Amino acid sequence: MGNRLSIVVTSGSLERLQMAGMVASVGAVSGQDVVVLLSMNALASFRRGAASQAPAEGEFGALLAQKKGVPPFKQLFESAVQLGDARLHPCSMAMDVLGYRREDLEPYLGEPMGLTKFLDEAAEGRVLAF
């Protein structure tokens, strides 16, 4: 198994986005090759100008939203790109369904990626889903 960590994020909940961001950033700064595919409900949080707070699933998310000193998930993902060379890609199918163009999304996201390419790259390591 290689040193690649592939993360697919489909949930738009604060808890899952936060955990995915933490895993991506820690993996990236630890020297792992991190590839993230943002799809379905997760993609809306990465639209330019979207609120940096996603809806909480439960009590922990509500507490997380109130805590100061906890980096928000968007900051974690951006740090993964800047500090660890992680690659974040919007899902091309989700973009089509949502009617998003590349320029609608945060600038630190890479080019859209399809599931076939993501799975091809993911074959070299571990895959996590949030």
The pLDDT confidence band at residue 2, using thresholds 50, 70 and 90, is: low
pLDDT of residue 117: 97
DSSP string covering 3-61, please?
SEEEEEE----HHHHHHHHHHHHHHHHTT-EEEEEE-HHHHGGGBTT--S-PPPSSHHH
The alpha carbon torsion through 36, 58, 73, 52 (nearest 10 deg) reads: 120
Domain ranges, ordered by start, for the chain: 4-129
CATH of domain 4-129: 3.40.1260.10
Percent of the chain surpassing pLDDT 90: 85
The pLDDT confidence band at residue 27, using thresholds 50, 70 and 90, is: very high
> What is the pTM (predicted TM-score) of this model?
0.94
Q: Which of 75, 84, 74 is nearest to 35 (CA)?
A: 84
To the nearest whole number, what is the mean pLDDT of the chain?
94
51-80 per-position pLDDT tens digit: 777 999 999 998 888 877 889 999 999 999
